[in-house]
Structure 1
Protein backbone atom coordinates (compact mmCIF):
# COMPACT_ATOMS: atom_id res chain seq x y z
CA UNK A 1 0.00 0.00 0.00
CA UNK A 2 1.39 3.40 -0.99
CA UNK A 3 1.91 6.60 0.91
CA UNK A 4 -0.24 9.27 -0.75
CA UNK A 5 0.19 11.88 1.99
CA UNK A 6 3.91 12.10 1.22
CA UNK A 7 2.90 14.52 -1.54
CA UNK A 8 1.76 17.01 1.08
CA UNK A 9 5.19 16.87 2.69
CA UNK A 10 7.00 17.35 -0.63
CA UNK A 11 4.67 20.09 -1.83
CA UNK A 12 4.95 22.09 1.39
CA UNK A 13 8.75 21.90 1.44
CA UNK A 14 9.00 22.80 -2.27
CA UNK A 15 6.62 25.75 -1.85
CA UNK A 16 8.58 26.98 1.17
CA UNK A 17 11.90 26.76 -0.65
CA UNK A 18 10.45 28.62 -3.63
CA UNK A 19 8.90 31.32 -1.42
CA UNK A 20 12.25 31.82 0.33
CA UNK A 21 14.03 32.30 -3.00
CA UNK A 22 16.29 29.33 -2.36
CA UNK A 23 19.09 28.79 -4.86
CA UNK A 24 18.80 26.07 -7.50
CA UNK A 25 21.71 24.18 -5.97
CA UNK A 26 20.09 24.09 -2.53
CA UNK A 27 16.73 23.12 -4.03
CA UNK A 28 18.41 20.27 -5.88
CA UNK A 29 20.14 18.98 -2.75
CA UNK A 30 17.14 19.32 -0.43
CA UNK A 31 14.37 18.23 -2.79
CA UNK A 32 16.41 15.49 -4.41
CA UNK A 33 17.08 13.89 -1.03
CA UNK A 34 13.45 14.43 -0.02
CA UNK A 35 12.15 12.73 -3.17
CA UNK A 36 14.46 9.77 -2.56
CA UNK A 37 13.45 9.45 1.10
CA UNK A 38 9.74 9.72 0.38
CA UNK A 39 10.01 7.15 -2.40
CA UNK A 40 11.83 4.81 -0.04
CA UNK A 41 8.76 5.15 2.20
CA UNK A 42 6.51 4.01 -0.68
CA UNK A 43 5.37 7.42 -1.94
CA UNK A 44 2.93 6.66 -4.72
CA UNK A 45 1.67 10.09 -5.82
CA UNK A 46 4.91 11.56 -7.16
CA UNK A 47 3.19 12.31 -10.45
CA UNK A 48 0.71 14.60 -8.69
CA UNK A 49 3.50 16.63 -7.09
CA UNK A 50 5.37 16.75 -10.39
CA UNK A 51 2.23 18.07 -12.06
CA UNK A 52 1.82 20.76 -9.40
CA UNK A 53 5.39 21.99 -10.02
CA UNK A 54 5.48 21.41 -13.79
CA UNK A 55 6.53 25.04 -14.35
CA UNK A 56 9.60 24.65 -12.12
CA UNK A 57 12.47 23.32 -14.26
CA UNK A 58 14.57 22.25 -11.25
CA UNK A 59 11.77 20.12 -9.81
CA UNK A 60 10.82 18.70 -13.20
CA UNK A 61 14.47 17.72 -13.71
CA UNK A 62 14.76 16.14 -10.26
CA UNK A 63 11.79 13.90 -10.96
CA UNK A 64 13.04 13.11 -14.48
CA UNK A 65 16.38 11.98 -13.06
CA UNK A 66 14.38 9.44 -11.07
CA UNK A 67 12.33 8.24 -14.03
CA UNK A 68 9.19 10.23 -13.24
CA UNK A 69 7.96 12.31 -16.17
CA UNK A 70 5.01 14.49 -17.06
CA UNK A 71 2.42 12.86 -19.28
CA UNK A 72 2.69 14.89 -22.52
CA UNK A 73 -0.87 13.95 -23.50
CA UNK A 74 -2.19 16.01 -20.59
CA UNK A 75 -0.61 19.24 -21.87
CA UNK A 76 -1.41 19.29 -25.56
Structure 2
Protein backbone atom coordinates (compact mmCIF):
# COMPACT_ATOMS: atom_id res chain seq x y z
CA UNK A 1 0.00 0.00 0.00
CA UNK A 2 1.39 3.36 -1.04
CA UNK A 3 1.89 6.55 0.88
CA UNK A 4 -0.68 8.84 -0.69
CA UNK A 5 -0.46 11.61 1.89
CA UNK A 6 3.22 12.35 1.24
CA UNK A 7 2.22 14.85 -1.39
CA UNK A 8 -0.20 17.02 0.48
CA UNK A 9 1.50 16.62 3.88
CA UNK A 10 5.15 16.93 2.85
CA UNK A 11 6.04 17.61 -0.76
CA UNK A 12 3.41 20.23 -1.56
CA UNK A 13 4.01 22.31 1.60
CA UNK A 14 7.77 22.29 1.01
CA UNK A 15 7.33 23.31 -2.62
CA UNK A 16 4.90 26.08 -1.66
CA UNK A 17 7.25 27.33 1.05
CA UNK A 18 10.09 27.54 -1.45
CA UNK A 19 7.88 29.51 -3.83
CA UNK A 20 6.61 31.84 -1.08
CA UNK A 21 10.15 32.44 0.15
CA UNK A 22 11.21 33.50 -3.33
CA UNK A 23 13.69 30.65 -3.70
CA UNK A 24 15.63 30.62 -6.93
CA UNK A 25 14.75 28.08 -9.59
CA UNK A 26 18.10 26.43 -8.90
CA UNK A 27 17.31 26.02 -5.19
CA UNK A 28 13.79 24.72 -5.85
CA UNK A 29 15.03 22.20 -8.39
CA UNK A 30 17.91 20.96 -6.23
CA UNK A 31 15.88 20.71 -3.03
CA UNK A 32 12.92 18.96 -4.60
CA UNK A 33 15.02 16.71 -6.84
CA UNK A 34 16.61 15.39 -3.65
CA UNK A 35 13.31 15.18 -1.73
CA UNK A 36 11.37 13.19 -4.32
CA UNK A 37 13.38 9.93 -4.11
CA UNK A 38 13.36 10.07 -0.31
CA UNK A 39 9.57 10.16 -0.36
CA UNK A 40 9.49 7.43 -3.00
CA UNK A 41 11.62 5.21 -0.78
CA UNK A 42 8.82 5.51 1.77
CA UNK A 43 6.35 4.32 -0.92
CA UNK A 44 5.02 7.69 -2.10
CA UNK A 45 2.62 6.81 -4.88
CA UNK A 46 0.84 10.07 -5.70
CA UNK A 47 3.71 11.92 -7.33
CA UNK A 48 1.62 12.82 -10.37
CA UNK A 49 -0.94 14.55 -8.16
CA UNK A 50 1.78 16.80 -6.78
CA UNK A 51 3.35 17.32 -10.18
CA UNK A 52 -0.02 18.44 -11.51
CA UNK A 53 -0.23 21.05 -8.74
CA UNK A 54 3.06 22.62 -9.84
CA UNK A 55 3.07 22.26 -13.63
CA UNK A 56 3.21 26.06 -13.89
CA UNK A 57 6.59 26.14 -12.14
CA UNK A 58 9.30 24.91 -14.54
CA UNK A 59 11.88 24.32 -11.79
CA UNK A 60 9.53 22.08 -9.83
CA UNK A 61 8.43 20.23 -12.97
CA UNK A 62 12.11 19.71 -13.76
CA UNK A 63 12.71 18.23 -10.29
CA UNK A 64 10.09 15.62 -11.09
CA UNK A 65 11.59 15.03 -14.55
CA UNK A 66 15.01 14.58 -12.94
CA UNK A 67 13.44 11.63 -11.13
CA UNK A 68 11.76 10.19 -14.22
CA UNK A 69 8.29 11.54 -13.39
CA UNK A 70 6.73 13.26 -16.38
CA UNK A 71 3.30 14.72 -17.02
CA UNK A 72 1.70 13.24 -20.10
CA UNK A 73 -0.86 15.55 -21.71
What is the TM-score normalised by the length of structure 2?
0.91
1:14 matches 2:21: no
1:3 matches 2:3: yes
The match for 2:25 is 24
Gaps of 5+ in 1: none
CA distance in 2, matches of 1:20, 1:31: 15
Gaps of 5+ in 2: none
CA distance in 2, matches of 1:35, 1:57: 16
CA distance in 2, matches of 1:65, 1:29: 10
CA distance in 1, matches of 2:39, 2:6: 6
The match for 1:64 is 65
Corresponding residue SS for 2:56: coil
Aligned pair count?
72
Higher Cα Rg, which structure: 1
Q: CA RMSD in A?
A: 0.9
